[in-house]
Amino acid sequence: MSTTSTSGVTLHGELGPDAERVLTPDALALVADLHRTFNHERERLLRNRLERQDAIAKGGTLDFLEGTKEIREGDWKVADPHPSYLDRRVEITGPTSRKMVINALNSGAKGFMADFEDANSPTGPNMISGQANLTEAIEGTIEHSENDKEYALDDEVATLLIRPRGWHLIDRHIKVDGGPVSGSLMDAGLYLFHNSQRLIDKDKTPLLYLPKMESHLEARLWNSVFEHVQDAVGVPRGSVRATVLIETIPAAFEMDEILYELREHSGGLNAGRWDYIFSFIKTFRERPEAILPDRAKVTMTVPFMRAYTELLVQTCHKRGAFAMGGMSAFIPSRSNQEINDKAFKQVADDKKREAGDGFDGSWVAHPDSVPVAMEQFDAVLGDRPNQIDKQRPDVSVTAKELLDASSAGDDRTEDGLRANVNIGIQYISSWLRGNGAAGIFNLMEDAATAEISRSQVWQWKRHGVTLTDTGEQVTAELVRRLEDEELEKIREFIGDDEWFEKEGRPKLSRELFERVALADEFLQFLTIPAYDELTD
C-alpha cells in the first residue's frame, strides 16, 4: 500500500494495527522535519566512515585525535544524572514486543532498554506497534494475552530506555520527498514526539541508548537532533538523556569527545562488547596481525578488551557520567540445571569483575540473570545508587593496547568455525521471520553477535587461516561443507521438515550468509542486504 499522510510523506507496506495512532499527521510532520534538516549531514558522516576505512585499508591506523586534545585534557563534566534514574545497577534488554516489554519491566531490573535496533527485525508492524507498546507501558496500561495467560505490569517496574536504529539504517515504510527516511530519526522522533511530555508529567524523562557511532561528530549530530526535537515538542532542553554505546573501535578513541558533544544530554557510555568485537574485525579485516581467535575466546578479560573497558570507566567517571558494563547473553535451560549452574557462575564472575572495576551497572538478556547480576553490584554498591565518584587514576591506556589483537590468542578451531556458520544462518533465518532476538545454544543472539560470526568467517577465509585443531585451511569450499552439515543438524534439532523447508527459509538464509561471509568485498552490515529480503 502507499498512502499520503502529510505533506511530502508517504507510507508504504504493511504497518500493522497501531499505525493510525502512532503515525499521526503531527508525528509524521516532525519525522519529516528531522529528516529534511539532518539527513544530509547523516549521509556526509557515513561517507566519512568509508573514507576512514579506506585510509586504514591503505595502511593507516587509529589513534587519539590530536585536534581534540584540549577536550581530553580539559576540566569539564556532563550534566548531573536525572534524579529519576540514579541507580542503574542492572539493566535488561530486548525487543519492543508486548510480552517482552511487560516481562522486562517486571523483571526486577533497574532499567529496561527497549530495542528498535539489533534485537528487532524492522518489519513495519514491529517498528510501529513497538512505539505503541512503549507509550502504553509509560501510561501503565499495557496488557497481553497468550496461551490462556494474562500479562500486565506490576506496581513497581523498571525504568524505560529506548535504542533507536543506528545512523547507517533507513526505513522503507516512511518516505520523505520520495526517499526512505533515516531509521534513527524515525525511531527517536516518534518516541520523543509521543512520550517526552508524558514522561515529564510523571517526574521522569526520556532516556535513550545511541548505537553504532564511530566519531564525536556523529554524537554532535545527535545532540543537534535532541535540541531540535525538544524545541519542537515544547519540553526543556536537556530533558533527553542519552547513553552512547561504545561499540566501534573508532569510537573507543573518542570517548571524551563523545561525552563532550552530548554533555547537556549525556547519560554516560556503555561497553557494547559484541559490536565492538565485530567492529574490530571489520576495521582491520585486511590485517593478518588483527585476526582474532574463536569468538568464544574473545572474552572481556583478554588484554585488548580489558583496556577498552577500563578506559571507559575512567573516562566516564572523570566527567561525572555513568559507565555501563556489557551484556550477559545467557538464556537458562528449562531441562538442564548443570548448564544453568555453570552459566550463572560465569554471569556472576562477569558482573563481579565489572562492579569491582567501577562500572555503575551492566546488562543481562534474561530475567533469570537479573538477581545474579544484582547480587554482584549490591555487594559493591551497597546503599549507594552508583559509583560515579570512583575515579581510576591507576588506568593509563595506550593506542597500542587498544589495538593489540594478538593479546586474545590465536586459537582458531573447527568448532569455532562451525559455531559461526550455524549461528549466522540460524540468526538470519530468525531475522527474516521478524524476530531480531533469537535464542541459540542458550545464548540470546542478536544482529551484533551474528555480525561477529559472519565477519570472522570472512576474515578467516580472506587470510586462509589454518585451523589449530585440524590443520585444515579455511576456504569457501570448507565453509560450504560445514554449512551442509550444520543445516542438517538444525533440521534434526527442529524436527519439522515442513517448517524447515518453508517458514525457516533455509536456502535464502544460507544465501544471505554466504553473501556477507564469503563475498570478495566485505559488506558493511549484514542487515542491509537482508532488509531487501524482509517481507511484511
Catalytic residues: 163, 446
Q: Which of 394, 302, 402 is nearest to 63 (CA)?
A: 402
Residue 374 CA to residue 379 CA, distance in Å, equals: 9
From the number of C-beta atoms within 10 Å of its C-beta (0-12, 13-18, 19+), residue 521 rates as: exposed
φ and ψ at 91, to 5 degrees? -120, 140
Contact 248, 212 (CB under 8 A): yes
Cβ neighbour number for residue 179 with a 10 Å cutoff:
11
φ and ψ at 312, to 5 degrees? -65, -45
Biggest CA–CA distance in the chain, Å, is: 64
- Amino acid of residue 183: G
Residue 516 CA to residue 116 CA, distance in Å, equals: 22
Cβ neighbour number for residue 467 with a 10 Å cutoff:
19
Contact 181, 214 (CB under 8 A): no
Residue 380 CA to residue 401 CA, distance in Å, equals: 28
CA distances from 483 to 178, 209, 386, 506, 521 (A): 40, 35, 46, 11, 20
Distance, C-alpha 121 to centroid of its chain: 13
361 forms beta bridges with: 324
Q: Which of 455, 429, 430, 431 is nearest to 523 (CA)?
A: 455
Show the cell assigned to 440: 541459540
